[in-house]
Chain A
Amino acid sequence: AQSVAQPEDQVNVAEGNPLTVKCTYSVSGNPYLFWYVQYPNRGLQFLLKYITGDNLVKGSYGFEAEFNKSQTSFHLKKPSALVSDSALYFCAVRDTYSGNTGKLIFGQGTTLQVKP
């Protein structure tokens, strides 16, 4: 079965330190991978995606993610965390069995807490 796993329910980091939010996936074929962020009482906002090409993808608000095919991972990173980065982060992968419908499989989410 196709799936996405975010192994950490919560990640705590001090402001100014680098952050990593982990994501691993299991799909057949070539993965299309996404990261979204959700601030309290808001909808999901797109951060970045990997379709093909360079394994290091740069996105919004200084975030980047590294695609690692051998480890089936797509970890989200930022060199220097801000308190305003505190939010709920979702990793998602396209359901490759669904053709071009765009159906996404989401991880359960990771809460990022950045402390001053």
Chain B
Amino acid sequence: NAGVTQTPKFRILKIGQSMTLQCTQDMNHNYMYWYRQDPGMGLKLIYYSVGAGITDKGEVPNGYNVSRSTTEDFPLRLELAAPSQTSVYFCASSYKGLETQYFGPGTRLLVL
């Protein structure tokens, strides 16, 4: 049982480039979440999904897109990278909405 896995671990992007952060969970969880973590700011919710085919915006969705075609995968897309998107990104999942969320190891993104 790998839990929640994220790739890549680290990436450097140039301004205006695009990329997809991958997130996969093998726990058959219905709910999945994307957060960003900035120093001294805690975690902010970017997007979430309550099941395959259903996604919704969180607190800071601008500049990001998501899709949820399968229960296991929840990729996060950055279309036009900006320095403000330099952050650490965490994916999380839970079986139900009120259950404990389990986090992946994170992706560190640097936009220059």
Contacts and interface: CB of A to CB of B under 8 A. Distances in A.
Taking residues whose C-beta sits less than 8 angstroms from the other chain, chain A's interface range is 20 to 34
Interface residues of B, number: 27
Given A32-B98, A101-B31, A45 B40 contact: no
A9 interface: yes
Contacts of A109: 40, 42
Contacts of A99: 97
B105 A101 contact: no
Contact of A102 (B4, B42, B94, B103): B94
Interface stretch (B11-19, B43-51, B60-68): B43-51
Contacts of A34: 100-101
Interface of B: 4, 31, 33, 40-45, 48, 50, 56, 58, 90, 92, 94, 96-106
